[in-house]
Amino acid sequence: MIYLDNNASTKVDPEVAAAVAQAMELWGNPSSVHAEGRRARRAVEEAREEVARLVGAHDAEVFFTSGGTEANAKAIYGAAGTARGRVVRSGAEHPSVRGAFAVLRERGYDERVVAPERSGTLDLGKLEGALNGGAQLVSVMLASNEYGAMHPVPRIASLAKSAGALVHTDAVQAAGRVPIDVAALGVDLASFSAHKMHGPKGVGALFVRRGMALVPHTPGGGQERRQRAGTENTPGIAGFGVAARLARRRLEAEGPAIARLRDRLEGAILAATPGAEVIGARVPRLPNTSAILFEGISGQSLAIRLDLDGVAVSVGSACSSGTPAPSEALLSLGLSPEAALRVVRLSLSRWTTEREVDEASARVSTAVDALRRGATAAAELAAV
């Protein structure tokens, strides 16, 4: 299998797996004061330091969660508080952010959505319009999980702060793939997830700027400085720390190398496949992400065909009761529902090789051609 679905999840690095296995022996509760508890606490705090270093934060600004979805929810509900004011997000956001904003809307908040341009970028003039009159919270992802476009978060944060808003960015897909400095971004809150950077599933983190009062989303115990109750997932957190350390050390070399492979993959597919378009190709993107629209076929059919051919990709749609539905993020770009259902995402990692890229591009082009010929034959038969 040629695995090109790394935006969904990545292969766990062997060093991370070893750290998780070792931490399984730390059976003490990190909140306990005895020796076994202190051993577990040390592992948690060492991991916190590594995650903080990766994103340019202070250790005390990093809070562990069960993943990116919880980190997003904690940030949004915590920052929105109980005063039902205006909250602003981009149309490109992950379902976990859209879902949290939908809950706020149901509770009486004034939700404003800023759709990205067809190119994938955000029009800051539209954002200013949404902020006119002030806002409580602005949430814009650092990079799209579906087509990789990077958003100008520092400029967005500046506009939001001028309007009196707190700023959150979902940095789940960007962390470990591009350099991140939360201070330079100018955000108050940022979400991260281990399994997008070759770490374990089920563990994430939320950056909370020092001095910010955040309403706890999960009250109860005193863990995570009373911001996230519940016994810490020591093995997962330890693995996250190692994954963050490896990402930080390898980032400078890996990012450009992966981008070259992505460009090679796109170039080969476009050259051999008429009627193909890379979404967001003209704006800054994550180095590993390619979303391609193929005219004349459904993305789901192509993904199934490629799975049978030994290539793992994902589609730009969600499936409910067996019926594909176009991605809201792709629709927000101005794509028609039919066009959004023709998009396939290919996402690379540090493990992707040049041979895999060349083989995958050939298999994609062959599969697209076969599906188009099949669609043409079916249409001709129906016309008889």
Which residues are known catalytic residues? Answer: 319
Q: Are 212 and 4 in contact (CB under 8 A)?
A: no
Q: Are 66 and 240 in contact (CB under 8 A)?
A: no
d(CA 67, CA 201): 7
Alpha-carbon Rg for the chain, nearest whole angstrom, is: 22
d(CA 96, CA 71): 9
d(CA 272, CA 275): 10
Torsion angle of alpha carbons 21, 23, 25, 29, nearest 10°?
-150
d(CA 205, CA 181): 15
